Chain A
């Protein structure tokens, strides 16, 4: 099968046709979402989860570390944002900064435990830590509000100095989220196409060899885990704004598993853009299949099983098959 490292290395500028297409889609979404039968809020959800999924794929696709507890950092970000608004003060940037910082710290601490582990023990430990966060969120009632979570989190206005934008309007909030996504995604693109990204792939292919060449593998694992947790934290802060609440459910094993499914179905193993496709497909499936049948997860799950059996490269893998000669080892 094709893997990420079979794709040609791209240095230099992140101005490529998929990036252009992605930004174009992001910028024009509000104009065509409603005409094709979808709605504005779905655009917000998809944009937030794209952020989460792309940060996650740094770890999952590029480094080959299979975290099954990544929802925890989204949750930590969401709670941090909510607690900041409720206890410190109503501030957009303050809340988002708190979300990113909290998730970064959580990721950095957990990363210390994880960075010397490999394969299945890594996966099991991420599940363990994910459950610790989830369980704490449920049990620390006085801080997190227990199973109900934090309710009534405000969406603070965006202060631009000369003007103040009310983000309670979903259209305005979409633009804000889209702007952040348009900022972070090229940064991630730059990161994975820099020497750093090549080292990540080298570690995935052969950790021992990477170590012999002289890379301190655990530092790369730790850094990647922390960066990916920080991205999840930002997504979490935005998620708390979108939902106007933060609740333990996003940290559950189920949710953490769903993000793995999205990234894999989209083709995160073979393409930087895989997670985008996967997230879009998941949310469309949820809304379209979910409108038709109560048991849409059954069909989504079956599709996933068949996909892993027949075409583990995911949707993005199909594109590479359709363009033979490019990206084949």
Chain B
């Protein structure tokens, strides 16, 4: 039993990271009823912007670039943690403009548009940053390993998991404890009434999409030191996000968090016994749960079903 503990801990931290990935995805699904297949590409985009921020590539050779690269790593890392998501959010807003003709049509169009966008973003990344595997540096303080109860753990994983918890709480507070959250949720529930009350729905959608994309970018910056950075990392990411939304139930915040933890634990525990099949356990979990409950664990009826 004891030798299962590190796998459970790994599974839980992985689950929290999955939740961070799924957070922006579920926000966009819940409010706009758009399955954003480009979520993974925005994730990658955020990470690549962070890479350039830390490396200072854009200003290499100029005086500013030299000064920038002289800054301590942790300063650049903290700035990357902000700049990556902001630029990913801006890209998300551009995508939202492209999505506008799809509103009010069958959900298929949103799905197809974002699939096309994912392809385009991935190719742009190949153009801008090359096709090889790259590495995002992290500050010394959160790098390396530590021992606890005779077991070895990675410091960075714990930092990332803690970060994920903070992000989940922040989004929950925004949705449940602020007037903005009330408007966002109302927009998901009854967009006509929200418009009748005088809120600008177009701006609301733009901001929510931007926020969702920024969360994807944030997940990218945090995850990539663990998973590695390559142009098609997006597709490795969008799949778990999907599964989690389907398992948790479309549009349910806590459903997504719960599903993330379940998926993380499934992967972690399978990894203990049959490492080669760890990823497979997610799909089995999806098929089992959707086989039993058509709308996932905590899902409600949604326009996406028709």
A positions within 8 Å CB-CB of B: 66, 113, 116-121, 123-125, 127-129, 131-132, 135-136, 139, 253-254, 257, 260-261, 264, 295, 297-298, 300-302, 304-305, 308-310, 312
| Among B98, B239, B280, B296, contact of A305 (Cβ-Cβ < 8 Å) | B98
| Among A66, A139, A298, A305, contact of B108 (Cβ-Cβ < 8 Å) | A66
| Pairwise interchain contact A305-B306, C-beta atoms closer than 8 A | no
| Pairwise interchain contact A298-B124, C-beta atoms closer than 8 A | yes
**Is B112 among interface residues, defined by CB-CB distance under 8 A?**
yes
Assess A125 versus B290: contact at CB under 8 Å? Given A132-B283, A135-B279, A139-B276: yes
A-B contact count (CB 8 A): 112
Closest to A254 in B: B235
Closest to A127 in B: B242
Q: Which of B266-306 contact A (CB under 8 A)?
A: 276-277, 279-280, 283-284, 286-287, 290-291, 294-296, 302, 304-306
Closest to A114 in B: B290
Closest to B290 in A: A125
Residue among A131, A139, A310 with the highest chain B CB neighbour number at 10 A: A131
**A305 CB contacts on chain B under 8 angstroms:** 98, 113, 116-117, 120
**Is B63 among interface residues, defined by CB-CB distance under 8 A?**
no
Q: What's the minimum C-beta distance from B41 to chain A, rounded to whole angstroms? A: 11
**Is B161 among interface residues, defined by CB-CB distance under 8 A?**
no
| Pairwise interchain contact B123-A295, C-beta atoms closer than 8 A | yes
| Among B101, B123, B235, B279, contact of A309 (Cβ-Cβ < 8 Å) | B101
**A131 CB contacts on chain B under 8 angstroms:** 239, 283
**Is B233 among interface residues, defined by CB-CB distance under 8 A?**
no
| Pairwise interchain contact A120-B112, C-beta atoms closer than 8 A | no
Q: Which of B232-264 contact A (CB under 8 A)?
A: 235, 239, 242-243, 245-246, 250
**B204 CB contacts on chain A under 8 angstroms:** none
Q: Give A257 to B117 CA distance when docked, in angstroms.
A: 12
Q: Give A131 to B282 CA distance when docked, in angstroms.
A: 10
**B295 CB contacts on chain A under 8 angstroms:** 121
Closest to A252 in B: B235
**Is B109 among interface residues, defined by CB-CB distance under 8 A?**
yes
Assess A257 versus B304: contact at CB under 8 Å? Given A129-B287, A135-B280, A305-B120: no
**A117 CB contacts on chain B under 8 angstroms:** 290, 294
**B242 CB contacts on chain A under 8 angstroms:** 124, 127
| Pairwise interchain contact B116-A308, C-beta atoms closer than 8 A | yes
Q: What's the minimum C-beta distance from A107 to chain B, rounded to whole angstroms? A: 15
**Is B35 among interface residues, defined by CB-CB distance under 8 A?**
yes
Assess A132 versus B287: contact at CB under 8 Å? Given A119-B306, A254-B235, A305-B98: yes
| Pairwise interchain contact A139-B277, C-beta atoms closer than 8 A | yes
| Pairwise interchain contact A253-B113, C-beta atoms closer than 8 A | no
Q: Give A128 to B119 CA distance when docked, in angstroms.
A: 20
Q: Give A302 to B117 CA distance when docked, in angstroms.
A: 7
| Pairwise interchain contact A120-B250, C-beta atoms closer than 8 A | yes
Closest to B112 in A: A308
Q: What's the minimum C-beta distance from A217 to chain B, rounded to whole angstroms? A: 14
| Pairwise interchain contact A119-B291, C-beta atoms closer than 8 A | no
| Pairwise interchain contact A260-B277, C-beta atoms closer than 8 A | no
**B302 CB contacts on chain A under 8 angstroms:** 120
19 further A-B pairs in the complex, CB-CB below 8 A; given A121-B295, A132-B283, A139-B276: A121-B290, A121-B305, A128-B246, A128-B283, A129-B287, A132-B280, A135-B279, A139-B280, A261-B115, A261-B116, A295-B126, A295-B127, A297-B119, A298-B124, A301-B116, A301-B119, A301-B123, A309-B102, A312-B109
Q: Give A135 to B276 CA distance when docked, in angstroms.
A: 10
Q: What's the minimum C-beta distance from A317 to chain B, rounded to whole angstroms? A: 14
| Among B35, B98, B250, B287, contact of A128 (Cβ-Cβ < 8 Å) | B287
